[in-house]
Amino acid sequence: MIKATPILEVRDLRKSYGKVKAVDGISFAVREGSCFGILGPNGAGKTTAIEVIETIHDPDSGTILYRGEAVARSFKENIGIQFQDTSLQEFLTVRETLELFSKLYPRPRPMDEIIADCSLEEFIDRDNRKLSGGQRQRMLLGIALVNNPDLLFLDEPTTGLDPHARRNFWRLVQGIKAQGKTVILTTHYMDEAEYLCDDIIVMDHGHIIESGRPRELLLKHFGEAVIRVPEAAVPAGAAFSCPAESEEGFVSLTCADTDATLRELVAAGVDLRGVLVERRNLDDLFLKLTGSGLD
């Protein structure tokens, strides 16, 4: 259930380290119950932005509103955080670690629910240093959920995980979303953003350079699809109604209506054998917006 009032609103947020403007006047709003993605390359300012919002660092200027009001001391009780890099006190089991963090909050969630939501059963009594990458991320997600937060921050939670562990983690996040919680996610992975996020912003050099829903942004920048026709199959003098450009032996047509464009090709006498219909993704969008790939 997505409500109209933003659960979080950021206005003209700025944070500098010396002469480096890590976050340079960003503004956005997050709908309650949604998954909000912050995308960008290393050094774009994603982590600084969310750590300022999390009140880990003080902003230089700007406003952060939680449910329409300036963040107060109790804000930390309403949010859950999974940092990009974090260490825990050693020589504790997963259960003891969760219990430690549970005791830091006034209204912790029952331990059994956290264990079930994050699939921690198989290693709940294992030393927290002896976990695989995927298990460790699930434990850290569990820690972020101990206070039953309304708003969950996940900073590159699947970096370094194998594809199977990433998919498992996405499934957990989908389950958390289904409980009505709001998730703010930074990620390098465009497939992750496309799978999980309802809204995204793309950051570069501390600025927001694009924002919107992933599907709408792709339509805006690339149309519905790109149809690639071998140059040899295109009759001489043929003209098309959608933008066309030659690349690597193909004519690429960026079309808003795939069906209409294919009919247009048939009418022009194009041999459809060898024709490719491709959907552009957020990686392509980022390349287009910044002129560089995500690293």
Partner 1 sequence: MQKFWAVFVARNLEFFRDRSTLIFNLVFPIILIFGFAFAFPGGGGTTFKIGTVGEAPAAGSASDVAFLHYKNLQLVPYASLEQPLDRLAHHQIDMVIDYSKGEYYVNDASANGYVLEKMLLPANSGKAAGAVVFAKKTVTGAPIRYVDWFIPGVIGINILFGSLSGVGFVIVRYRRNGVLKRFKATPLSAFQFVSAQVLSRFFIVAFISAVIFTGTDLVLHFRMAGSWGLLALVNALAILCMISIGLVFASRIKSEEVAGGIMNLITWPMMILSGVFFSLEGTPRAMQVASRAFPITYYIEASRAIMLDGAGFAQVAGDLGVLAAMTLVFLAAAAALFKWE
Report the interface residues with partner 1, using CB under 8 A. 54, 56, 73, 76-77, 81, 83, 85-89, 101, 104-106, 143
Q: How far is the CB of 89 from partner 1 (least distance, A)?
A: 6
- Helix then strand then coil, in percent of the chain rounded to 5, is 35, 30, 40
Of 76 and 167, the one with the shorter C-beta distance to partner 1 is 76
Of 75 and 170, the one with the shorter C-beta distance to partner 1 is 75
Of 90 and 259, the one with the shorter C-beta distance to partner 1 is 90
Helix or strand run (H / E) with residue 105: none
Residue 239: CB atoms within 10 Å: 7
Task: Decide if 38 contacts 46 (C-beta within 8 A).
Answer: yes
Closest of 268, 176, 177 to residue 227, by C-alpha: 268
Q: How far is the CB of 81 from partner 1 (least distance, A)?
A: 5
Q: How far is the CB of 91 from partner 1 (least distance, A)?
A: 12
Of 27 and 84, the one with the shorter C-beta distance to partner 1 is 84
Q: How far is the CB of 154 from partner 1 (least distance, A)?
A: 13
Q: How far is the CB of 79 from partner 1 (least distance, A)?
A: 8
Reading phi first (left if > 0) and then psi (alpha if -120 to 50, else beta), residue 43 is in: left
Of 76 and 188, the one with the shorter C-beta distance to partner 1 is 76
Helix or strand run (H / E) with residue 158: none
